[in-house]
Amino acid sequence: MCGLAGEFRFTPVEHPSRPADLAAVERITHHLAPRGPDAWGFHSQGPIALGHRRLKIMDLSDGSAQPMVDNQLGLSLAFNGAIYNFPELRRELESLGYAFYSEGDTEVLLKGYHAWGAELLPRLNGMFALAIWERDSQQLFLARDRLGVKPLYLSRNGERLRFASSLPALLQGGDINPMLDPVALNHYLNFHAVVPAPRTLLANVEKLPPATWMRVDAQGRVEQQVWWQLHYGPRSDEHDLSLEDWRDRVLESTREAVAIRQRAAVDVGVLLSGGVDSSLLVGLLREVGVEDLSTFSIGFEDAGGERGDEFQYSDLIARHYGTQHHQLRIDEREIIEQLPAAFRAMSEPMVSHDCIAFYLLSREVAKHCKVVQSGQGADELFAGYHWYPQVDGAQNPYGAYRDAFFDRSYDDYAATVQQPWRLDHDAAGDFVRQHFAQPGASAAVDKALRLDSTVMLVDDPVKRVDNMTMAWGLEARTPFLDYRLVELSARIPGRFKLPDGGKQVLKEAARLVIPSEVIDRKKGYFPVPGLKHLQGATLDWVRELLLDPSQDRGLFEPAALDRLLSDPHGQLTPLRGSKLWQLAALNLWLSEQGI
């Protein structure tokens, strides 16, 4: 788990080549220091420069230092992530005649690419973003994992391509106009702050989509391909499977996903909310023999009549399994103090209240361990959210999804932004409608699950966990996003997911492992009531942030701000989030990035 950066300087036909800007790559790389606090390195050769910040987990020796250069093979690699099945791949490569000089996954990637090229990617079980320089062909190969767990941001012009593990780091290289993208702003304000790849909020910065590789040649020509897709519906031999059959398959697949993520993880932690997903991880880690297990929970002050913690359930699991439990309670003052730092750590602005929770919880966890398992993805894979039954029974599935999930109608959006930023069409709605119309998911609920699993999950929960944990040099591993479990979940019919308040088949699997008290309860979230029910000092802080003349970027209509500030508790989204907080979050992120 690390941070990578680089620049590829193009060579136009009949023009002399120019070396890559190593100084720019150095600035970008060192901005990634929190992602890789243990070591750093650079490799520069003509038109290519690679940078890397390292978090030592898989192989603690310098043998796995990056960028890794193999002069015999003519390849150089900078890589962020973890390949869990690297021992098996290494043995296969050794049988092909490759010799290894290190003990980690980095060299396996380098030699695997030499052996199989882009066909290496489907063989990988892990999370990754990688850049491989092919010296002899003068080509750069970039790739990202199936579900986009590891990020990769890009900046292209006619002279060069730059890339980095975070957007704020990429800006440190200079030569990027940080102009906002009106279409991305439309997505941000409507689609619950989700800006689907390749867009980012900035018009001149892209992100490589998940499950995609890109090859760039010396003239800047780009070849790009999606290398994995998620298809819904059972296979021909699975149509007659019962709930119990699917339950057993889910439990076995989840058990394997948890176990393989324990490779090269000595000090083990779990982010324990007290819900089914994180509690199941604790139970399965105990099953695979983890004795010295630490668990971490966070809570906040109550606000608006809403409880700010779920300690009763996380405590229950901690007692049941005898974990070394750490309980962190945060007051309103510390939220306000730490919000700017949390937003500096965001590659893109996020509005979910639990961003600050993950940021502060990661600060605590990093004091005790380097690797933590987290339950992200289970709701999107197994239909755990309240809008899935609404979509399943709707004559217009797209309309039902939009009504339940979108933060604003088009008219509300148009009344919120000033004319220069206002689109004359519903860009986010068009995106979702087109996604629902794509082949590969015929049932209405499967259309929503596919959208949430491959788009919303990537650019909300997964990005949130990556950004907030890596801000403290903490590696988060997400077993529910093991591609084998993801593909299995997509084959399970909706009738085995939707009952029992959602996630029926996963809950039935969990009953074989963990106490029923954490299963048979109302669904909880990572609550931060103070950011949902804006009041007191927090409301004053938000008001000052939005009305400060020095922070006025001409984005929002003054009448919309007045309306939201006059009724902060009545202006909520369908997901019961604060529309006021969404505007404040965007302003705060832009300020913290110096935009």
Phi-psi region of 472 (alpha: psi -120 to 50; beta: other; left: phi over 0): alpha
- The pLDDT score that the predictor gives to residue 26 is 98
- The pLDDT score that the predictor gives to residue 536 is 79
Instruction: Please check whether residue 391 is in contact with residue 451, taking contact to mean a CB–CB distance below 8 angstroms.
Output: no
- Residue 534 pLDDT greater than 60, yes or no: yes
- The pLDDT score that the predictor gives to residue 258 is 96
Instruction: Please check whether residue 371 is in contact with residue 389, taking contact to mean a CB–CB distance below 8 angstroms.
Output: no
Q: What's the whole-number average pLDDT of the chain?
A: 93
φ, ψ of residue 23 to 5 degrees: the values are -60, -40
Amino acid at 394: A
Instruction: Please check whether residue 542 is in contact with residue 584, taking contact to mean a CB–CB distance below 8 angstroms.
Output: yes
Pairing of strands 268-271, 222-226: unpaired
**Is residue 74 helix, strand or coil?**
coil
- Could you read off the pLDDT of 464-506 as tens digits, one per residue? 999 999 999 999 999 999 999 999 999 999 999 999 999 999 9
Encoded tokens for 158: 């006619």
- Residue 176 pLDDT greater than 80, yes or no: yes
More confident residue, 237 or 568: 237
- Could you read off the pLDDT of 279-304 as tens digits, one per residue? 999 999 999 888 889 999 988 766 55
- State the CB neighbour count (10 A cutoff) for residue 38: 13
151: cis peptide before it, omega within 30°? no
- Residue 208 pLDDT greater than 80, yes or no: yes
Instruction: Please check whether residue 582 is in contact with residue 351, taking contact to mean a CB–CB distance below 8 angstroms.
Output: yes
Strand order in the sheet with 268-271: 324-330, 293-300, 268-271, 371-373, 475-477
- Residue 526 pLDDT greater than 60, yes or no: no
- Could you read off the pLDDT of 129-171 as tens digits, one per residue? 999 999 999 999 999 999 999 999 999 999 999 999 999 999 9
Residue where the block lists tokens 């004319």: 419
Q: What is the rounded distance in angstroms from the CA atom of residue 56 to the CA atom of residue 43?
A: 19
Closest CA to 310 of 356, 279, 355: 279
Confidence at 328, pLDDT banded by 50, 70, 90: confident
- Residue 382 pLDDT greater than 80, yes or no: yes
- The pLDDT score that the predictor gives to residue 331 is 82
Closest CA to 277 of 127, 387, 365, 382: 382
Confidence at 265, pLDDT banded by 50, 70, 90: low
**Is residue 320 helix, strand or coil?**
helix
Encoded tokens for 495: 């009738």
pLDDT, average across residues 311-331:
91
508: exposed, middle or buried (C-beta count within 10 Å: 0-12, 13-18, 19+)?
buried
- The pLDDT score that the predictor gives to residue 268 is 78
